[in-house]
Structure 1
């Protein structure tokens, strides 16, 4: 009996130690689908956002712009030329005109995709979050938008407080006036910008240049209770760099290949 009790205590101690070690391990790296990209549908369309949700990303990056008549829509470029079947600056078009265009240029099977509104994207993600345990939020690239209108829409769909906002520093300051709890995410090009941007913006995260990141930088940012996000796009979007980012302790990778990041780091 005594031997049994000793064995039981030793087993419990081993299990507790394993649990303690596991609980102190770093959180899994987060993934943001750049423009919703998964490689299977046109960028910044509802089709690719739906696919990104199914992949299981943590954030979907969107680019918000404003039409001539004040509608908030999603398009990366300032002009329609590259991704639609029209030309010219988006800001000179009324929403009724834009709603007739195809946003699936170069994708025959997606020629009926339209430029989505911010409201449509929020509806899609809000519905997904209602039905699924794993939640997805928005990495909002504020290209050309008034803070009040943007915040109003995100608050309506309960996405304002868990999403991150990227833009130039002056815009982020104005956004903070409208939504003091906003998770600001300014760009960070080098180590020298860390302290000035913390002092002026009080960011929740930095969108840091991957090529400039060092272990010292990541540790310094984390010591301020700020997250480190980085873009791995184009030639940087590789398995080697995913592993390097994870080793540095980066909190989020923005990528055009979310499924590959998941397969590389989460399996």
Structure 2
């Protein structure tokens, strides 16, 4: 029985303020294999960790990430006194502890992200993922040694071809839209399958039964405990 990798979604978003260093630290303490975070670009070119295009939902501030400077973003409270981290801070923290899944939320994050990964010699420590699959092709052009993953919510008929076309290593699919046929087809095509984002134990059991390679969750604590109970961790 092959092991399933655990991905902490936005760190451990069900336990700590999402996309903060505190959340990432908690995920690693729990024993995740990977940590998933989201990257955007500040007005002055800083690579910052934020899911939404505005800071309104997750901080005490207001406005678009792209219209605020790095200093302005860093002055905000991202929950429990945490600051909005930079990609460099998070990557330096995770290196040697867990792989970092970097979701590119905007095209302008692509080249500076790859530049940072190269500066830190972290090519083997990351996987770059995005719903904008043309960005993954750009990543491959910039550095073919960096693994990429194609994100999907729905499952188009040509999902595998789309992923292979942009040289993706894996497909990352919303868990409710995954079935055994997709998993088997992906594996036959040489693609790994990651799912997001089951948070209840019965949903996690279902994904394990489908034979996926990795599961992302806001509650990596529940998932890790389940995998250990059934001898898969």
Question: Structure 2: how far apart are the matches of 1:38 and 1:79?
Answer: 18
Deviations 1:139-172 (A, max 9, x none): 1110124322101212233332342211111111
Instruction: Give every structure 1 segment of 4 or more consecutive aligned residues whose post-TM-superposition deviation is greater than 6 Å.
Output: none
Residue in structure 1 matched with residue 84 of structure 2 by the alignment: 115
CA contact 1:232–1:241 (8 Å) conserved in 2? no
> Greater helix share, 1 or 2?
1
Which residue does 1:177 correspond to in 2?
141
Distance 1:77 1:178 in 2: 26
> Which residue in 1 is equivalent to 2:49?
74
Seen in structure 2, the aligned counterparts of structure 1 residues 88 and 245 have a Cα distance that, compared at 3 Å, is same
Q: Does 1:65 align with 2:65?
A: no
Give the Cα–Cα distance (whole angstroms) in 1 for the partners of residues 163 and 69 of structure 2: 38
Report deviation, 1:208.
1.9
Deviation of the 1:179 alpha carbon: 1.4
Pick from 140, 143, 161: which aligns with 1:196? 161
Offset, 1:85: 1.2
Contact (CA 8 Å) 2:103, 2:128: kept in 1 or not? yes
SS in 2 for 1:138: strand
CA distance in 2, matches of 1:258, 1:195: 27
Give runs of aligned pairs for residues 4-83 of structure 1, distance below 5 A: 25-26=1-2, 28-37=3-12, 39-83=14-58
Which structure has more relative contact order (CA 8 Å, sep 6+)? It is 2
Q: Which structure has greater strand proportion?
A: 2
Partner of 1:232: 197
1:86 corresponds to: 61
**Structure 2: gaps spanning 5 or more residues:** none
Match of 2:212 among 250, 255, 258: 250
Aligned 8 A contact 2:21 2:90 in 1: yes
Give the superposition deviation at 1:199: 4.3
Higher CA-based Rg = 1
Give the alignment partner of residue 96 of structure 1, picking from 61, 68, 71.
Answer: 71
Structure 2: how far apart are the matches of 1:47 and 1:55? Answer: 12
Encode CA deviations 1:12-61: one digit per residue, 9 max, x unaligned: xxxxxxxxxxxxx32x1111111102533211111111111100101111
Q: Return closer, same or farther for 1:223/1:52 CA change in 2, 3 Å cut-off.
A: same
| Pick aligned residue for 1:147 from 104, 107, 110 | 110
2:188 maps to 223
Determine the C-alpha separation between the residues in 2 that align with 1:249 and 1:240.
15
Kindly report the root-mean-square deviation, in angstroms, between the aligned alpha carbons of the 2 structures.
Answer: 1.6
Contact 1:63 1:143 survives alignment (8 Å): yes
Is the contact made by 1:227 and 1:251 (CA closer than 8 Å) also made in structure 2? yes
- In structure 1, what is the Cα distance between the partners aligned to 2:223 and 2:7? 10
Q: How many residues align?
A: 226
CA 1:250 to 1:65, structure 2 compared with 1: closer, same or farther past 3 Å?
Answer: same
CA 1:218–1:102: 2 relative to 1, 3 Å: same
Contact 1:191–1:217 under 8 Å retained in 2: no
